[in-house]
Amino acid sequence: MVFFSACPAREEWDNLINHANGGVSLTGSVLLGKVGPLIGAVDIAESEDAYVFRVSLPGVARDEKVFRCDVGPNGRILIKGVSVTGERKVRRKNMVFKMQTQNLCPPGEFTVSFQLRGPIDHLNLSCNFGPDGIFEGVAKKKQQVL
C-alpha cells in the first residue's frame, strides 16, 4: 500500500500506477481512515436507556443456519458466523479467476465478541444484518429496580 498526504499530480499518479504492479494506493478521504481489521470492526453508542452497536461483517454468510448473535444479560455480545470471501480462486460465469491479492478475511468460521458497558434486557434485542455487510443491534438497558 502507498499512502499519499495529498492528492498527487497526474504525472506522479501515472508513474505510481505503472510501477506498482498490482499494488493498492489510497488517497483523499480513504487515506484518512484508520487501518484496522476488515471484519469485526465494532462501533458502540449509548443513550439514556439503550445501546446501539454496529459490526462490520463484509463477506459473511447471512444464512440463519450459520450466523448467530448471542446476547447475555450482562451485556456480553457474541457473534458467530462463516466468512465466504478470501478464497484463492473465484468462479464467475463459467470462468475461473486466480486471486492476485488476498486482503479480505479468509473463508471459514469466526467469532466476534465484545462487552456493552452495563446490563441489558437481553430478551428485548432488535437486530438487522443489512445487505451492506453491517450488523446492527439495539439493546435496551436493564431497568434498575428501586
pLDDT digit string (tens) for 12-28?
A: 656 665 555 555 555 55
Structure pTM? Answer: 0.70
The H or E element containing residue 37 is none
pLDDT digit string (tens) for 49-76?
A: 999 999 999 888 888 888 999 999 998 8
State the number of CA atoms in the 13 A half-sphere of 42 facing the CB. Answer: 16
Q: Are the C-beta atoms of 111 and 77 separated by less than 8 Å?
A: no
